Amino acid sequence: MSRKYFGTDGVRGRVGEPPMTVDFAMRLASAAARVLAPQGGTALIGKDTRVSGYLFESALEAGFVAAGVDVLLTGPLPTPAIAFLSKQIPRAFGVVISASHNPYGDNGIKFFDSDGGKLSDELEARIEAELEQGALTLTSDRLGRVRRADHLRDEYQKYCASTVPEGFDLSGMKIVIDCANGAGYKVGPRLLADLGADIIPIGCSPNGRNINDGCGSTAPGLLQLTVAGVGAHLGIALDGDGDRLVLVDHLGRVVDGDQLLYVIARARQETGELTGPVVGTVMSNLGLELALRERGIEFRRAKVGDRYVLSMLRETGGIIGGETSGHILCLDRSTTGDALVSALQVLAQMRRSGRSLAQLVADMRKFPQVLLNVKVARRFDPQTVPAVMAAVADVERQLGDSGRVVLRASGTEPVIRVMVEGRDEAQTQACAELIARAVEAAS
C-alpha cells in the first residue's frame, strides 16, 4: 500500500507548509484514532522543545478527544520514553511531536503501537486512507478526556536505570551532558545525577528555537571543548528528541555510533548476552566490521535507516545494531533507539572493565571514509551505467580487501552519493574523486 504523507520516520516537514499544519494534525489524529483505537483507548502524547510543539499538541489533542480517545500529555520527553511508556499503559499508543535532529523550523509526528514499536507500513497506509474522511466529532457523552502526565518522566527514568546491573552507580565520575536544548533536557541530567555522577549540563536551556542549534549530537564541538576544559571523564550528546547518541572521550575526541556499537557488542559478548549478528548499515565504517570479525562477532549491513536495521535484527535474531549517526538499538533493553539507555550501556562497560572510553574504543581502528555528493542533471541508477561501474571496478582493484565502495542515489534530490573507504586517506580521496568524475560524466 502506497503512502503519501508517512516517510521513513512518521510525517515530517516545514512548519506552516503541508502537511505540518494545524488542520492536517487534527485530521491525522482523528484518522489514527479510527485505525489504532476504534473502540476507544489512550493516546500518550510527548514532544520535544520546538515552539511549534504547542500548536501540534493542541491540534492532536482536539482530534483525539473528538474521536473518543483519552489523552495523556507528558510534555517534553525523549521519543524512546514514549515508546517505553506506550507498553506500560493499558490500551495505549504513543504519539511524538518532533523532527529529531532537524532545525526548529521543522516538525513531525510519529506513532508507536501498544508494544512500543513503530507502526507497520500497512497501518500507516490505513491511517492515510482515513484522512480523506476529515476530522470526526462525537457527541459529548462519547468524547475522550485529557490529563497531564508529568509523573511519567519518573517512570521512564526508573526504566533507564533498570537497564544496567543492580547497584550500578557513577560516583566519582564527572560527566558533561549536552541535551541539544531538546526533549531530554530534564530527564537526562537527573538520571545521571541520581546515579551519583558529578554533572555539568550544557544544551539544557531550551527556548523553543535553539533545539539542535550548535549543540547536541550533530554539533558536538562545544561538548568537546567543555569535556577537555573541565577535566571530565567523558561527554554525552543527545539529539533533539533523545534517540541518537554521540560520546566524547576525556581527550575531547568524538566517539560515533560505529564505535559505540563496537563497545556495546563487546560488552554483551563478554557477559555472554550477545545473540545473533551485530547489524549496521551500508555506511557503517569498515573498521567496525573488521574489529568485530577479529572478536568472532558476525556483522551484517542493512539499508540506511533505523527501521531497516531493526528489521534485519528481527530477521536474524540479533539484539545490537545501529547507525554511524548514533542511533543505537539494544533490543535486549529497549524497543527503539534510546540515547540515554545506550549511554548507560557504555558507562556500565567502563565501570565493569575499569577502562576509560578512549581505551574501550582503541581496539577499533576507523578507516578513512570519503563521502562525495555529486549533483546530477537527472536522477538515475549509477549501477546501470557501464562507465561508472568500470570506475568502481578500477577503484576496487586498487583497494583490494582493505577498502569498500558504496554508490547510492538520493531518494529526495538529484544527487548520487559516492562513499569510498580505504586504509590510506590520500588514496581514498583520490578514488572517491575518480568515481565522482565518472558519475558527473554520465549525467
The domain spans of the chain are 11-150, 172-254, 256-366, 369-442
Cβ–Cβ < 8 Å for 278, 261: yes
Range 397-404 average pLDDT: 92
- Cβ neighbors of 290 (< 8 A, separation 6 or more) are 365
pLDDT for 168-219, tens place per residue? 999 999 999 999 999 999 999 999 999 999 999 999 999 999 999 999 999 9
Confidence (pLDDT) at 412: 66
**174-178: strand order across its sheet:** 198-202, 174-178, 234-238, 245-248, 254-255
Cβ–Cβ < 8 Å for 79, 46: yes
Confidence (pLDDT) at 228: 96
- How far apart, in whole angstroms, are the C-alpha atoms of residue 264 and residue 343? 10
Range 388-416 average pLDDT: 90
**415-422: strand order across its sheet:** 369-375, 415-422, 403-409
> Cell digits for 144?
475522550
172-254: CATH topology is Alpha-D-Glucose-1,6-Bisphosphate; Chain A, domain 3 (3.40.120)
Domains 11-150 and 172-254 share a fold: yes
- Give the CATH architecture of domain 11-150: 3-Layer(aba) Sandwich (3.40)
- Percent of residues in the chain assigned helix, strand, coil, to nearest 5: 40, 20, 40
Range 290-302 average pLDDT: 97
pLDDT for 233-292, tens place per residue? 999 999 999 999 999 999 999 999 999 999 999 999 999 999 999 999 999 999 999 999
Q: How confident is the model at residue 129 (pLDDT cuts 50, 70, 90)?
A: very high
pTM (whole model) above 0.85: yes
> Cell digits for 180?
541539544
Backbone phi and psi for residue 359, each to the nearest 5 degrees, phi listed first: -70, -35
Q: Distances in Å between the alpha carbon of 258 and those of 32, 101, 221, 286?
A: 36, 18, 19, 9
pLDDT at 1 over 70: no
Confidence (pLDDT) at 377: 86
256-366: CATH topology is Alpha-D-Glucose-1,6-Bisphosphate; Chain A, domain 3 (3.40.120)
Range 322-336 average pLDDT: 96
pLDDT at 443 over 90: no
Helix (H, G, I), strand (E, B) or coil at 232: coil
H-helix or E-strand spanning residue 146: strand 146-148
User: Which residues participate in catalysis according to the annotation?
Assistant: 100
- How far apart, in whole angstroms, are the C-alpha atoms of residue 13 and residue 5? 10
Confidence (pLDDT) at 2: 60
Q: How confident is the model at residue 409 (pLDDT cuts 50, 70, 90)?
A: confident
Range 301-311 average pLDDT: 92
Name which of 48-57, 85-94, 258-267, 394-403 the model is least confident about. Answer: 394-403
Q: Distances in Å between the alpha carbon of 29 and those of 1, 71, 228?
A: 20, 11, 46
What is the chain's mean pLDDT, rounded? 96
Domain boundaries 369-442, corresponding CATH code: 3.30.310.50
pLDDT at 304 over 90: no
Confidence (pLDDT) at 427: 95
Cβ–Cβ < 8 Å for 250, 223: no
- Maximum separation of any 2 CA atoms in the chain, in Å: 73
pLDDT at 410 over 90: no
